[in-house]
Amino acid sequence: MTADTYNKMFTMHGVVMVFFFLIPSIPAVLGNFLIPIMIGAKDLAFPRINLLSWYIYVLGGLFTLTAALSGGVDTGWTFYTPYSTAASNSHVITAALGVFITGFSSILTGLNFIVTVHRMRAPGLTWFRLPLFVWAHYATSLIMILGTPVIAITVLLVAAERVLHMGIFDPALGGDPILFQHLFWFYSHPAVYIMILPAMGVISEIVQAFSRKNIFGYSFIAFSSLAIAIIGFLVWGHHIFVAGQSVYAGMIFSVLSFVVAIPSAIKVFNWTATIYKGSVSFDSPMLYAFGFIGLFTIGGLTGLFLAAMGLDIHVHDTYFVVAHFHYIMVGGAIMGYLGGLHYWWPKITGRLYPEGWAKFAALMVFVGFNLTFFPQFIAGYLGMPRRYHSYPDEFQIFNVASTLGASILSVGYVLPMVYFIWSIVAGEKSPADPWGAKGLEWETPSPPPTENFFVTPIVTHGTHQYAPSKGVGIV
C-alpha cells in the first residue's frame, strides 16, 4: 500500500465512521424507535421531517461514496487547512459536501427529539419520571442543534475556498488556518459526546434491567448528561494545544477539559453502585454494559492524560491518541450500540436471537477490541506517530498484536449480523417483556402496533420500578 493510498484509506475510515456511523447510529436506530414509546407518544413530533432526515443522510452518503469511488480524499477526516484548501488535489469538495449534507440530517433528528420530549409526553410523565435513555438523547440533541451548524458553515467555507479562491483560512491569502481548527473542533469535540451520550443512555437502561435495581442517583445521571453536553462545548481547544494556539488559551482549555471528567465519572460511579448488591444476570446486553463501563473508564482516564498540556506535547499525534479515542468510540459508543441492539432487538422485531451465540460474540468483541487497541497505547507512548503508512521495526510486535485483535474483533461484529438476520426468519417469537424489564416500551406488544400503544398510557410513577437502590455509598 502506497503512502498516498494509506492517506486516503484512513481519511475515508474517519469520515465514514464519524459522520455516517457513530453520530447517527444510536439516535437514528434506537432513539427514533424508542423515544416515542418511552414517553408514551404515538410518534415523533415531525414524522415527515424524520423521513426527510433519512433521505438527506442517504444523499450525503452518496456524495461521500462518489468521493471515495472517484479517487478518494487524503486530508484526514478533519479536513485541516491549508492542506485541504490549497495543497490537496483529491476530491475534497465532494467529501466536504457529503459531510455538510449529512449534518442537516443530524440537525433535523435533534430538532425532532427536542420538540418530541417537550411536547409529546404522555399525561403524568414528568421530566423526572423520564427514562434516562430519553435524558441522554435530549442532551445529545442539544449538541446536534448547537454544534452541527458550525461545522456545516466551516466545511462549506473550505469548499468555497477551493472553488472561488477566497482567503478565509488560507495563510497565503491572509487567513488563519487555526481559525478553521477552532470552528471545526467547536463542533467536533461536542460531537464526541453526540456519539457517547446515547450509549450512556443505553447503559443506564441495561444496568437497571439486569441488576433488577433502580438506578443509583437518578437525578445525578440525568443532570450529568446535560452537564456533559454543556461543558463539552467549552473544551474544544484541547485538540489544538500544539497547533499554534496561545499558551494562555491552552491552559483554559486544559482546565475545562478536566472539569468534563466529573459528570462522566458520576455516571460510572452510579452505574457501579447500581450493580452493587443487585440481582445481576449475565445476559448478552449486560455483557456489553460491563464492557462499556470498563473500556469507557480506560478511555476517559487516558483522556485526562491528553488534556494535561505537558503530557499532550509528548504524546500528541501518536498512537496513544488513536488508542484513547478508540476506547471511547469503539469501547464506549459501539459497545453501547451493540448492547442496546441486543436489549431492544426482541422489542423491535418481535423475535428472540440465540443467546449463546450472542454471549460468544460479546466476548469476541471485548477480547478482540482490547488486543487491537491496548498495544497502541504502548506504541504511542513509545513514540509511534499516527497517520504514516510505515513504522520502524521496533513497533512490529504491537502492530502484529493489533492486526490479530482486529481479526478477532471482526468475528465479533459479523456474528451478530448473522444471527440477527437469522432470528428475523427463524427466531422464536418474543413476548412483550422477554427480560422482565420495566418501562413503557415493555408494556406494549413486541413489535409494537402502529401508534405504539392500543391505549394512551397515563403515568402515575417513575417509569422504572425495580428494587430501590439504597444502602450503598453515602446514605
Pick 241 or 398: Cβ nearer other proteins: 241
Cβ at position 290, least distance to other proteins in Å: 26
Give the whole-angstrom CA distance, residue 246 versus residue 244. Answer: 6
Task: Please confirm whether the linkage preceding 392 is cis (ω < 30° from 0).
Answer: no
Cβ at position 173, least distance to other proteins in Å: 6
Q: What would the grid cell of residue 403 be?
A: 492486526
Pick 461 or 475: Cβ nearer other proteins: 461
Q: Is the Cβ–Cβ distance between 46 and 112 less than 8 Å?
A: yes
Q: Is the Cβ–Cβ distance between 313 and 345 less than 8 Å?
A: no
Radius of gyration of the chain (CA): 22
Pick 160 or 301: Cβ nearer other proteins: 160
Pick 373 or 466: Cβ nearer other proteins: 466
Cβ at position 466, least distance to other proteins in Å: 10
Pick 98 or 439: Cβ nearer other proteins: 439
Q: What would the grid cell of residue 379 be?
A: 506504541
What value, to the nearest 5°, has the Cα angle with vertex 395 and ends 391 and 400?
Answer: 100
Cβ at position 158, least distance to other proteins in Å: 12
Cβ at position 228, least distance to other proteins in Å: 15
Cβ at position 266, least distance to other proteins in Å: 22
Non-local CB neighbours of 208 within 8 Å, separated by 6+ positions: 214, 215, 274, 437, 438, 464, 466
Pick 263 or 380: Cβ nearer other proteins: 263
For the chain, the straight-line distance linking the first and the last C-alpha, in angstroms and rounded, comes to 59
Cβ at position 369, least distance to other proteins in Å: 34
Handedness of CA 316, 318, 320, 323 (dihedral sign): positive
Cβ at position 174, least distance to other proteins in Å: 4
Pick 5 or 246: Cβ nearer other proteins: 246
Handedness of CA 326, 328, 332, 338 (dihedral sign): negative
Cβ at position 204, least distance to other proteins in Å: 17
Pick 219 or 246: Cβ nearer other proteins: 246
Task: Please confirm whether the linkage preceding 82 is cis (ω < 30° from 0).
Answer: yes
Residue the block writes with cell 454494559 = 289
DSSP track, 107-120: HHHHHHHHHHHHH-
- Taking alpha carbons only, the member of 224, 249, 220 closest to residue 234 is 249
Residue 344 backbone dihedrals phi, psi, to 5 degrees: -100, 0
- Taking alpha carbons only, the member of 83, 85, 67, 62 closest to residue 12 is 67
Pick 152 or 206: Cβ nearer other proteins: 152
